[in-house]
Amino acid sequence: MDPFNQKYAKYYDLLYSDKEYEQEAAYIHRSIQKFAPKAQRILELGCGSGKYTSILAKYGYDMCGLDLSASMIDIAQQKYPHIPFKVANIKDFALDEKFDVVISFFHVMSYQCSNESLCASFANVFKHLKPNGVFLFDCWYGPAVLHEKPSIRIKRVSDGQVSITRLAEPVLHPDKNVVDVNYEIIVNTPNQPTQTFKETHKMRYFFTPEIDLLAKQSGFKLESSEEFLSGKKLDFSCWGGGVLSQKARMKTLLIIHPDGNIYDNHNFYEMVEFLRKSYKVTVLTIAHKGGKNKHNDEFGRHIIYYFRGWRRLFKCLDSNILRYIFLNIYLFARRKYDLIIGVDRESIIQASILSKMTKTPYALLSYEIFFEDETSAKFKQKERKACQNISFAIVQDELRRVQLCEQNHIPKEKIMLMPVAAGIAKSHPNTYFLHDRLHISRDKKILLYAGGIDGWSGFPALFYILESMLPDDWVFVIHFKHPGIAKSKPNFELKKVYYSEIYLPTYHDFSKLLYSADLGLVCYYPDFMDVYRGKNIGYIGLSSGKFNTYLQHGLPVLAIYPSYLAKLTQQYKLGIGTTDLRAINLTNFKKEEYRQNCLDFFDKFLSFETCKDELVRRIENALGGGAQYKPIVGDVLSFVSESYRCSFSYDHLGSAA
């Protein structure tokens, strides 16, 4: 809310005509020269009528002013037309440039009364500062506020024509660290009626450790705190504290992800996008045929590609330290990394060797789990050795955490949970995207399966079973996410089965597909054809991007196998969950009865938003700057483990056939 209405703004300069702007601007200038002597471009937040801005411009700084009050900005722009001023909120302003210094005085930061507002403001300042940039601000100092206690004050000013009396009645809220300052302003002007208007300004007071913590969490380092203007050490008599924070060097993360599956894995994409806001992130990945991966411009210089020939060479040199010397030179000659994250087996082995050579902490992001009884003791020995000194590991749910602990010998407390899911739920009205593109009558309901139809998905048996059980007003649509997979579709025709090869390059495009379906099929059936398709599939849990993405879009699921996803679906009423296909009855199924359950479940248990804080804590702890994390397992993630019943047989499909 704008605390300065049009009436208040009109008399603002007269009310503060006794303020020593020149002296205070000189103090700000000295502070800038002390900590950022080469500063040129400066942004002032809460610039008001532009007094500080205009004086600092005289020192030679290239100034820009922002204020929440449109009335104040109008006054500033009229008085100082050569300086750019903008109406904006310090919590979410967005400018297309970065500054050497950001300043915010006259207690603007004390107007940020909620933790959310304060954190957002600091994060936004950080985003708009150049490397090593400086943030200067003042605020109410808590110990002095509580020691002296706010009191009623009366201020009278006059310019010979207009006389103003301002009464300030404060109300202290010690449980919130906030003071309500209730203003009553009385304006007397010759030959005009007396004007009276009221405003309440909520002001938050701060303590130095509080500011220090906030600075660290936002990427700053608290360099100085002193009384504003005098520069003396803060004590019980200092209501106005001047604070200087410098933008700390952004920590650098290297993520080794050899599969190159950056944009198709929405969880990985969301994680990288989130981490880029607070860290310098580089992804080392394999290039697809013909060059770099699709949409490579989106991350641009944040991706380092190596080519398939390198991967073959690495496998030939698997036991040879030369491959790691090569990686060390190639990667660390470019930049010093503060943390290495390896995605799955191949990458964690590389990360562990690089860690030894560069003394860099490393972590594991596990999307795949390999089992000794499906590989060999030698195969697992390298992976286990690589995991011995990891700072932390990431896996999708409690079920997979148990398996990762056992197979890779990682202590349970080192493993955090992060389902394969993107951001917040995406509610949207039903569409007819698939109907129109595949020439399906709009009165038909759609059972959708998105993905491949290899043996581990239960096909081809499901073709016959699902077509025979679908009511007349239903059709079955199989969408192939990649054109190459479409070659595996059967060479026979089924009346109620449609195949989609629609090109959907972005996540937004893929959403169109889901909004036009009524039910999403989830079925994972281990066929043990390779190390990826055995127990790794049987224990898939919340590593299922299909299950999670359906729910994110409010699409109910038909969960057939594994049984714990079926039970999860039943318990939380997310659609139909059963391992007995003969029990499925879609005659009276209505998507609307389950949609909100799906969206709520996703936001509460699956969304990447629920994992952000823990992920940052784990990273900061690995970097040596965070508090020890005590894991808390959500009910749903525990439920997945408790409800696991997997026999690895074809009984369910066979009995249904």
| 176 domain residue, yes or no | no
The strand pairing partners of 502, in sequence order, are: none
Same domain, 303 and 407: yes
Task: State residue 603's pLDDT score.
Answer: 93
Check residue 4 and give its pLDDT.
52
Q: 221-232: per-residue pLDDT in tens?
A: 888 899 998 989
User: Is the residue at 273 inside a domain?
Assistant: yes
Query: Tens digits of per-residue pLDDT, 547-571?
Result: 999 999 999 999 988 888 999 999 9
Q: What is 269-310 written as a DSSP string?
A: HHHHHHHTTTSEEEEEEEPPTTSSPTTGGGTGGGEEEE-HHH
Q: Does residue 611 sit within a domain?
A: no
> Residue 131 sits in which domain range?
6-139+207-247
**pLDDT computed for residue 57 by the predictor:** 97
pLDDT at 630 over 80: no
In whole angstroms, give the CA distance from residue 295 to residue 26: 50
- Closest of 383, 540, 560 to residue 459, by C-alpha: 560
336 and 455 both lie in a single domain: no
Supply the pLDDT for residue 116: 92
Instruction: Please report the pLDDT score of residue 642 as a whole number.
Output: 44
**Residues 425, 430, 431, 434, Cα dihedral to 10°:** 80
Is it the case that residue 243 has pLDDT exceeding 80?
A: no
Is 119 found in the same domain as 65? yes
pLDDT digits (tens, 9 = 90+) for 580-596: 888 888 999 999 999 99
Q: Domain total for the chain? A: 3
Domain-located, residue 552: yes
What's the pLDDT score for residue 283? 87
Mean pLDDT across 623-646:
46
Domain boundary among 363, 387, 417: 417
Statement: residue 120 has pLDDT above 50: yes
> Quick one: pLDDT at residue 301?
58
Gyration radius of the chain's alpha carbons: 31
Any idea what the CATH number is for the domain that residue 83 is in?
A: 3.40.50.150
Distance, in Å, from the CA atom of 308 to the CA atom of 259, rounded to the nearest integer, reads 10
Position 91 pLDDT exceeds 90: yes
pLDDT value for 569: 94
**Region 21-36 average pLDDT:** 94
- Judged by average pLDDT, the poorest of 101-110, 170-179, 355-364, 422-431 is 422-431
Do 577 and 509 belong together in one domain?
yes
Mean pLDDT of 100-108: 95
Q: Is the pTM of this model over 0.85?
A: no
Q: How far is CA 354 from the centre of its chain?
A: 28
CB 66 within 8 A of CB 90: yes
CATH number at residue 314: 3.40.50.2000
Q: What is the pLDDT of residue 300?
A: 57
What's the whole-number mean pLDDT along residues 144-173? 95
Q: Is the pLDDT of residue 102 over 80?
A: yes
What is the pLDDT, as a whole number, of residue 495?
80
Lowest mean pLDDT among 185-189, 308-312, 431-435, 471-475: 308-312
